[in-house]
Structure formats: structure tokens, C-alpha cells
Amino acid sequence: MNQFLKAITRPEINIIAEIKYSSPSHGPFLCQRPAVEVAKIYRENGAAAISILTDKERFQGDLKYLKEVSETDDCLPLLRKDFIREPRQIGETLENGASAYLLIVRDLTPDQLVALMELGAQEGLLPLVEVHSPFELETAIKCGARVIGVNNRDLGTFKVDIETAFKIARLLEGEPGYTLVAESGIKERSQISELRDAGYSGFLIGSVFMDSEDPGAKLRELRGES
């Protein structure tokens, strides 16, 4: 089994802790420590996996962060988070040490989505297919997606509504074979409990950690530790 998929389907609170230094909706985050240092904090405080933004223009990310973290001891499974549109980016993802990559349904045609999913699968990589609406969910399923990330942030307006995750989960209720990851807007332990009850097994969280003076303490808090 792919290492990233294995990490987010354990019978516990599987947080995908994100490394990003800025965002269009927020600007620079408080935590500007080197990626390797942040990754170590996440690993030592119970993250299941790590997401690394590699988009430079909007998130001040870099492929080198992915590579640097992948080469550290006891590295957790890594997700490359970027606007992936071209086959060469799949090769980059593999070469720089990630075992999973993000595909955004609203950013791709169905043919592109299928091609990029198939190319990644050939390399042993896991596509996390991101949706924001029932229409996008239908497209993802028709294209063969089985690991689905539900982004609570509308990428057009930047508005966050965690109810989006619950609406999507209800549409898949009783449908076997899908792994759900909740993305954006998760700030409290109670939200994770409710999302787990709704069928989510992974929780991609970044802003609340990167805007904290103590990302490790916040991670332990969301995992339910004192």
C-alpha cells in the first residue's frame, strides 16, 4: 500500500500537517522556520503525514523544501501540494521524495484529471483529488478517484465553510471504497471529532499551525493530547 494512504487510514486521528509560509487569503504566516525544522516538530508531535506547498508565486513554496524534508531521518509520508497540471510535475513529485500529490478538480478537465491520476499510479504515487462541490465530486468519481480531499475553502472567494465537508460526506454515505480527507478551516478538536463521525479519516491542517508560536503544542491539542 502507498505509504501516504497507509498513514491517513490508520484507526486514529490522522493529521496531515502542512508547511506553507504564506497564502493569498492570509499573507505571510507567523512561523517562518526552515521546512526541515517544521517537519521535525510535526513528526515529534504526532502528525500522520506532512503536506508541503511547492507553489512559489502564491504560497512562497519551493520544490527544494520537499526534497530537503524527504531526506531527513524518520521522514513522514509527504504530499506535494501545488497546482499540478502537467505530466512533468508528476516526475518532479517522485524525484523530490513525495508519495502523494494534489489534483484540483476545478483546475483540470476530466481528461487531464484521468491522465494525471494514471501517470501517478504508474509511479506508485497517490493522487489526492480535491473537490469543493457536489458537481466536482461527481466528476472526481467518474474519473476514478478514490482518495478525495474536500476543501472547505472556496478557491474563488476564499470563503471557508466547514459545512462543505459534511455535505460531501453525506453524498458518499454508505458508499464503500472511498477515503475522505477534510481540508481547510479546521481549528478545534471538536471539529475533528465531528468530521471523523461523518466519515473522514484524514485532516489536512496548515494555517492554524503555521500561524502559531508553538505549532507542536497546537498539533497535540488537535490530536486530543494535553
Please give the positions annotated as active site: 18, 20, 81, 130, 151, 183-184
Reduced to 3 DSSP states, what percent helix, strand and coil does the chain have, rounded to the nearest 5?
Answer: 40, 20, 40
SS3 10: coil
CB-neighbour burial class of residue 117 (10 A; exposed 0-12, middle 13-18, buried 19+)? buried
Please say whether the beta carbons of 38 and 69 come within 8 A: no
Residues in the chain: 226
Q: Which residues contact 22 (CB under 8 A, 6 or more apart)?
A: 28, 29, 58, 59, 60
How many CA atoms, within 13 angstroms, populate the side-chain half-sphere of residue 104? Answer: 15
Residue 79's SS3 state is strand
Cell 513554496, residue located: 61
What single-letter DSSP state applies at residue 118? H
User: What is the three-class DSSP state of 14?
Assistant: strand
Measure the CA–CA gap between 52 and 66, rounded to whole angstroms: 6
